Structure 1
Amino acid sequence: MGSARWYTVRLLTKLDENNSYSNILLDESLSRSDFDKRDKKFIAALFYGVIERRLTLDAIIVDLSKNPKSKLNYTLRNILRCGLYQLKYMDSVPDNAAVDESVELAKKCRNPAAPGFTNGLLREFIRRSKELPKTNSETERLALEYSCPEWLVKKWSFEYGKDRCLSLLKTSLGQAPTTIKVNNLSGGIEDTLDMLIADGVTFERSKILEYAVNVANAGAIEKTEAYRQGKFHVQDIASQLCCKALDPQPGDIVLDLCSAPGGKTFTIAEMMNNEGKVLAFDLHPNRVKLIRSGAERLGLTCVTADVNNAKIFNSDIPVADKVLVDAPCSGLGVIRRKPEIKYKDPSEFDRLPEIQGDILDTASKYVKANGTLVYSTCTVSKAENDDVIRKFLGSHKDFVPAEDEETFMQTITPDMYGSDGFFIAKLKRLG
């Protein structure tokens, strides 16, 4: 297990140095490694755990050390983070093992003082009964307890109220569910579920969507025989609800303007019984290839994928019955899948509403009279959601809410369906 801990420290250090995506870095690294299943599970748990609890772990380091965090090099800092995470959050690891293994890792550092420093800091944390540092306000307490930056705690509390904010904080931690959309065009759902059972996958069918299934013990779900045969694709239930809101019908012309990697495109085509046209677009050629290969695997011949800039009107694209804009966003609804998002500088999100508004404005030009326009994001931020829609409706009098004022916009929080955080707005173009 010692080498697994060192491997995790090196991955975390690489993440710090290169600002990579955590999921891509881990998946690619483990796929090339020769660790057994048990070690890979431990590495993944420690790697993601340290990232999602980083703010809290760094606060503990500062509280227990006279040296500012900035004076610790990346490697030693990650050794301490891993040791503290095991002590505080991994009940399966004995305290002595967490300390002793961390000290052994510290010996790999070039600083001869590192082992003693590591031993002293971790044992002091144990002597203090593993308590978190004291805070001066409720906002600071919540930020420390849930390892969430104070600006985001304040934002969610102001925009959604204290109760919903607390729910968002609680559901921002831990493992996100893996949900699949069963391909209703590829045999009966029971056949697909039987194939998953044969591959050792356990599951629970959704109570709100017929073809949504939460899976567990799946490992690499893409390696199952059912996946290879095009029996399903992976898609969070919130995204499936987004497609339900669009309500595509057989024979429709549907545009998915920000499609890659294609999950919504696939669900839309399946809902249309593969009858009609689904035109899927993305800005990047490599991501367009993902859409094409996914549609081919699922047997969706009504799907066409091509490169297009969603911000710029393209006269070659036909007007459509239904248009979906799943806009680029801050991703604050998928923090438990990509925990590094919450550590970004919030100023990085400032221009997003303008970009989203431009894409929505362009998308509206493709909607037929009496057609439907659905705008969605995987974020929980009124600036990127409600405000974008209100501004759009204020400047586009030919569009109205497709439903009543209370229901045409919906913010989905993870506690509602066990999904990602998500936003859906459904608009109609007047005839």
Structure 2
Amino acid sequence: MEKSRKVCVDIVEQILTQNAYSNIVLRNVLNKSNFEDKDKSLITEIVYGTIKYKYTIDTILSSYLKNGIKGIDTYVLNILRTAIYQIRFLDKVPNFAAVNEAVEIAKKYKSVGASKLVNGVLRNYLRNLDKVYYNKGSIVEALCFNYSFDKWLVKMFIDQYGMQRSEEILKGLNEKPAVTVRVNNLKGTYDEAFKTLCEYGYNIEEGYVCPEAIIINKGKSIENNPLFREGKITVQDESAMLVAPSIGVKEGFQVLDLCSAPGGKTTHISELMNDNGMVRAFDIHENKLSLVKNNAKRLGIKNITYNKMDAAIFNKDLEDIADAVLIDVPCSGLGIIRKKPEIKYTKEIKGVKDIIKIQRDIMSNASRYVKVGGVLLYSTCTINKKENEDNIEWFLKEFPQFSIEKLYYGNMKNFIYNDNGSVTILPNKYMDGFFISRLRRIR
């Protein structure tokens, strides 16, 4: 097992020390490996778990390291982090195995001295499994430790949502995300896709809220499945699946998607239009447009054009031409932490504030492309109200030629129907945290 545990440390090192994206580096490493499926599953569990609970793990480690975690070699620190995760959160890994493997990795890849440090810290932790590492009198500290979030983020959620709902959010952001796929109506029916996935041995169920969604509970990588390769299904979170239907597109529409990559929402729009009319995909990064093209090609979609463009800079050629404009704007990404747990630690309050100006610049510019009677659809994958409801309130004051239209998706426990007509989706097992608002140009 040393090799798989060593791979876990290597991946965590890349993510936490070199700022690599967890989903990308994990996929790349596992795709190139010859590990069995059970080992790949364990590696995935340890990597995501260690990143997810980094705050908690570092709090624990700080109490057993004389100079705290800052004075320790990062690789040794990540050996300790992965070991603490296994001991504290994984019942299927015996404590002695986690300790012994960690000590051996430190000895083989660092030094004898490092192995002694790792051994001492871990055995000291095992002797104090009932120790409390936070101030019991502080609810904020308890939430930070139990759910592993920095204080600024916990305080922000409490300020915006109150104590009870904030704890639900923290719990939801720590859920292991379900894999969901969207059925492509251009290449077959929902029932056909559902039946075929069952025949391939997948444990599946109908979507949580979206009629196009199928939840994959168990089965091999969906991207290697013939249905995926043939473009009959595509992977997409159910929160993101709500965006395209919210626009209300029709065949023959001209739709602009100003922040289109990687193309999940763009292609969904085309599917809803039966590949009729025109969908114009834009992105500020030209290389990312290839992702949209590849998705569209696999799905058999032909009504999309692709152009590099900054969504915040006015393009005279697009003025007043669109039946609908989608702006899935850059955001803090706080709603997708369950899929990219490193977001917990890569974001900071200043960065969150800075991005609001970019969002408002895009909103202002996009409004000029919508024809009278057309729709501007605003969405984010964050649950920070300042990027969501506050931006909509600002926009309606600055652009009185637009009015908001209420959205409704059903009476789901994790849906908040805001007073201004927008919808906030709280994270849970099935859905990312998300925000959607539909704005109509009335004059």
In the alignment, is the contact (CA less than 8 A) between 2:209 and 2:238 conserved in 1? no
2:422 alignment partner in structure 1 = 409
TM-score (norm 1): 0.96
Q: Give the letter for the 1:37 counterpart.
A: D
Taking the TM superposition and a 5 Å limit, the aligned residue runs for 1:1-400 are 1-135=1-135, 136-317=137-318, 319-344=321-346, 345-400=348-403
- Is the CA contact 1:60–1:132 (under 8 Å) kept in the aligned structure 2? no
Offset of residue 169 of structure 1: 0.5
Q: Give the alignment's TM-score, normalised by structure 2.
A: 0.93
How far has the Cα of 1:237 moved from its partner?
0.8
Q: CA shift at 1:337, angstroms?
A: 0.7
What displacement does 1:130 show? 4.9
Distance 2:282 2:183 in 1: 23
Q: Give the Cα separation in 1 of the matches to 2:219 and 2:397.
A: 46
In the alignment, the residues of structure 1 paired with residue 351 and residue 336 of structure 2 have an alpha-carbon distance, to the nearest angstrom, of: 17
Letter of the 1:414 counterpart: P
Amino acid at match of 2:336: V
Aligned partners of 1:61 and 1:210: how far apart in 2?
A: 46
- 1:419 corresponds to: 431
For residues 14 and 253 of structure 2, the distance between their equivalents in structure 1, rounded to whole angstroms, comes to 47
CA contact (8 A) 2:183 2:189 kept: no
Deviations 1:317-371 (A, max 9, x none): 3611111110000000000111111112322222111000000111101111011
Shift of 1:418: 2.4
Of the structure 1 ranges 35-44 and 207-216, higher mean CA displacement relative to structure 2 is found in: 207-216
Q: What is the distance in 1 between the residues matched to 2:76 and 2:209?
A: 47
Moved more, 322-331 or 207-216: 207-216
How many residue pairs match? The answer is 430
What is the rounded CA distance, in whole Å, between the counterparts of 1:52 and 1:129 in structure 2? 20
Q: State the 1:289 CA deviation.
A: 1.1
Between 72-81 and 342-351, the greater mean CA deviation after superposition: 342-351
Tell me if the contact between 1:321 and 1:368 (Cα under 8 Å) persists in the aligned partners: yes
- Are the counterparts in 2 of residues 52 and 339 from structure 1 also a CA contact under 8 Å? yes
Conserved 8 A contact 1:75-1:109: no
Give the partner amino acid of 1:36.
Answer: E
Amino acid corresponding to residue 276 of structure 2 in structure 1:
E
Match of 1:107, SS state, is helix
SS at match of 2:361: helix
Partner Cα separation in structure 1 for residue 369 and residue 405 of structure 2 = 17
Q: Secondary structure at the match of 1:187?
A: coil
What SS does structure 1 have at the residue aligned with 2:34? coil
Structure 2 counterpart of 1:252, one-letter code: F
Letter in 1 for 2:343: I
CA distance in 2, matches of 1:140, 1:382: 23
Deviation at 1:131, TM superposition (A): 4.0
Name whichever of 127-136 and 75-84 sits farther off: 127-136
Q: Residues 226-281 of structure 1: CA distance to partner in whole angstroms, max 9, x if unpaired?
A: 01111011111111112221111122111111111011111111111222111111
CA deviation after TM superposition for structure 1 residue 109, in Å: 4.8
Letter in 1 for 2:442: L
Distance in 2 (alpha carbons) for counterparts of 1:393 and 1:110 = 59
The sequence identity of aligned pairs, in percent, is 39
Deviation at residue 132 of structure 1 after TM alignment: 4.2
How far 1:212 sits from its partner (Å)?
A: 1.0
User: 1:160, 1:7 → 2: CA distance?
Assistant: 39
The amino acid of 2:362's aligned partner reads I
In the TM superposition, what is the alpha-carbon distance from 1:122 to its structure 2 partner?
Answer: 1.5
> Deviation per CA, 1:69-98, whole angstroms, max 9, x where unpaired?
111101110111111111100000011111
Contact 2:383 2:435 in 1 (8 A): yes
Query: CA–CA distance in 2 between the matches of 1:307 and 1:218?
Result: 37
Contact 1:76 1:109 in 2 (8 A): no
RMSD: 1.7
Q: Does the residue aligned with 2:174 lie in a helix, a strand or coil?
A: coil
Where structure 1 has 5 or more consecutive residues not aligned to the other structure, the ranges are none
> C-alpha separation between the residues in 2 aligned to 1:409 and 1:385?
9
